[in-house]
Amino acid sequence: MPGADLADLGSVSQVPLREAKACFSELVARADLLDEVTVLTKHGRPVAAIVPAYVGVDVADAQAAVSALWVLLDRLCPPGHDPAVDDARTRARTCRRHRSAPPAATRVKG
């Protein structure tokens, strides 16, 4: 279903992470066969999701398009020419840095 609207996805359910570990294969099959989205929760807070593969492809395509637009913008309006565009570049870099940074390690006392 590449290119499908995300609104066309099947049902959305929430499953605690501990429970999802026990039925992971079933949750993946439901995403694949039924277009179901499963939001994984930890202490009642959403932390991840199992989604049909085409959703991830759409996100990757969107990220590639945004990157191409930044390259074009850099050619049309080089850094230093427009303070508003420079501010947007700074904000975009900050977002990319936060998105790609590995989570902070936590030490488990044992």
Task: List the chain domain ranges.
Answer: 6-51, 55-100
Q: Model's pTM, two decimal places?
A: 0.52
> CATH class for domain 6-51?
alpha beta
What is the structure's pLDDT at 93?
Answer: 81
Residue 50 region by backbone torsions, left for phi larger than 0, else alpha for psi between -120 and 50, else beta: beta
Instruction: Tell me the per-residue pLDDT of 11-58, one tens digit each, with 9 for 90 and over.
Output: 888 999 999 999 999 999 999 999 999 999 999 888 888 988 888 777
CB atoms within 10 A of CB 52: 22
Q: Rounded CA gap, 79 and 5, in Å?
A: 36
Cα(54)–Cα(4) distance, rounded to whole angstroms?
Answer: 8
